[in-house]
Amino acid sequence: MQSTPSQHAAIVCDKNMILFAGPGSGKTATSVQKASRILCDPNRSLLMCTFTRDSAQEMLHRLEKKMDESGSGKPSPDRLRVSTLDSLCLWHYKATISDRFKLLSPQAQYPRLHQICKEFDLGGLDEHQQLFDAYQATRDRTQLVEKIREESPKTMVLIEQYYAYLKACNSLDLATIKRTVAIGLYEGTVPLFPFTDMIVDEVQDSDELQLLIAIVHGQNGVITSLVGDDDQTIYDWRAACGYQGMIKFVQECNAEVVRLGENFRSKSEIVEHATNLIRYNNPNRVEKNQKAERGPGGFVGGCYQEDVETEAEWIAGHIAENHTHPYNMAVLSRTNINLDIIETALNAAGIPNYRSGTSLWDRDDIAAYLSMMMFMCKGSPDLLAMALGLLGFKSQSVNTIMAELSSHHIRFRRGNAVDLPGLEPIEQTVLNQISKCMGKWRQDAKDGQTDLVIYESSAEFARWYSTLGAVAKKSGKEHPKVTRLKKGMQSVEKALTRIQGDLKGRIRLLTRKKKEEPESGAVRLMTMHGSKGLEWDHVYLIGCEETDDHNTITEGPSERRVFFVGMTRARESLWMTYGGKTPLFLLEAKVENLLSSPEPFGVAASADEHDPSIWDDDE
């Protein structure tokens, strides 16, 4: 595709430059063409930095393809390096400072931080994460340390203990390496990266140190191009530089400013409403005046429902009523909690979906309950073992029970438990209750009372969970893990009772093993943060109500940018569901197509035909 005038201006610019690129503006294609042009000159070399490893691999793949098409061939490693800034700093540290150290990986860092919080009674790590990240990403820490000591002294304890641990282990983490390299570059004690040109993508999410690296190179003869969108700064709570940092680069490096004014992704209705919203962040932003190149024909609407559960039911029904598989769509949420709910609703409606990361059905407590119920249906003792372990039975007791059930599980599931040696009295009591309940539930299920079995079993499982072990009630107070289980079981109940068919089939439908990669045509479930850089024909934003204060990490302009990112993932249609009053962001976006509490669509999945072999001991 031929470059637009603004893209061409960015591609041919041979001085420090910043490219403000809105959603769907073709910034990656522009960066690739600019990189290809640079590498066509044998006297130039290029360093390309991205925000994630996946983005780096994608950028390298597209650049190599572009150069193959032009006949230039693959450039040598000394002429092209594509990586994240963290990986780049690690490489440069080893090459110019020292390679004699142990690297503490992020996978090892967070367990250690959690351990320090627990050991020193500091509360949860999430209470300290923002200030801890700021400490690691700040060049001059003087004022920040004063702030932390005054406002959050426990965070200072965490920081001091963590860095003492690094010193004791003779280890470095990536943040320490990045800070050492950045300060060394700034002070002139570390040499510049050995490239003539530098392109930094998604620069709005760079922190102070990453921005400093770009500025130092731009001030010292390396032609430095920054690419990003200040309107999509969604990690400012992790010390991302955003608009202020991008303007700082312009001022300190005398950089050319180029704006990409086209949107090749979305219909004009989506671009218009998203632009209406983000302009409320003026004046602390750069106006793009995006034009929707695909023209009109899209749809933007809002739908009021009583709560997020009915929002999820409405979305599932709307998809079933208006779309067919394969789907090119996503449901996005501000929180993972809402993704649990929409995942449950889509499963109950039989709509194929894929969720990145863990979900409700991956939780140990939920999996233990479902395993117990599958044991009741089909009788594999190892399924019950998982549930007993979670309920608080001791390991030796579980072994004793498994030895008994290996030959007598049918009798147990019919309600005839026996006293076993070595069990504590409370363990024997709970075991007898499980057996007695299973005998009743099996008969209820045979009589067609499957929903009753689900309601009773979920309540009993939570009661047993609160009876044994570390989560048992103390001083009349319910353990937080029990409260969490009960909330999760409410979602499980709703999912299982919405599906038609026998109990075993319902459980299997909801717990199908998730594939590592999404199957073609599945509805994608993601957070708005996770959706950045992706796009679909149809997008639903669930849980847009502004009354859920616990869902909000930041306020005002920051939340508006997150919402803007969610809106601009859509190509053809965008629905936003909410409870309570009409959300401020929908009013700011001037969304007029608002449905007021429409009835949920009547859709439900079927767990296939009734399985006559569901009770394996029936003769």
DSSP 145-214: HHHHHHH-HHHHHHHHHHHHHHHHHTEEEHHHHHHHHHHHHHHTSSPPPS-SEEEESSGGG--HHHHHHH
Four-point Cα dihedral 143, 144, 148, 151, nearest 10:
70
Residues 461 and 575 both lie in one domain: no
The amino acid present at 344, given as its one-letter code, is: T
Residues 301 and 440 both lie in one domain: no
pLDDT at 414: 93
Residues 536 and 472 both lie in one domain: no
Residues 371 and 350 both lie in one domain: no
pLDDT at 360: 82
Binding-site residue ranges: 21-28
Binding-site residue ranges for ATP: 21-28
Buried (b) or exposed (e) across 92-114, using 16+ Cβ within 10 A? bbeebeeeeeeebeeeebeebbe
CATH for 526: 3.40.50.300
pLDDT at 515: 63
Task: For residue 130, give its domain range.
Answer: 102-169
Residues 368 and 483 both lie in one domain: yes
Residues 29 and 14 both lie in one domain: yes
Residues 352 and 374 both lie in one domain: no
Sign of CA dihedral 339, 343, 345, 346: positive
Residue 386 placed within a domain = yes
Residues 466 and 535 both lie in one domain: no
Residues 526 and 459 both lie in one domain: no
pLDDT at 552: 44
Geometric angle at alpha carbon 35, from 33 and 38, rounded to 5°: 110
pLDDT at 450: 93
Residues 441 and 306 both lie in one domain: no
Residue 271 placed within a domain = no
Total domains present in the chain: 4
Side-chain half-sphere exposure of 4, counting CA atoms within 13 A:
18
pLDDT at 469: 65
Residue 287 placed within a domain = no
CA–CA dist 145, 159 (Å, integer): 10
CA–CA dist 612, 420 (Å, integer): 33
**Which residue ranges of the chain lie beneath pLDDT 70?**
1, 237-238, 469-476, 513-517, 547-555, 597, 600-619
pLDDT at 618: 47
How many CB atoms sit inside 10 A of residue 195's CB? Answer: 19
Residues 388 and 458 both lie in one domain: yes
CA–CA dist 365, 488 (Å, integer): 9
Residue 548 placed within a domain = yes
Residues 206 and 81 both lie in one domain: yes
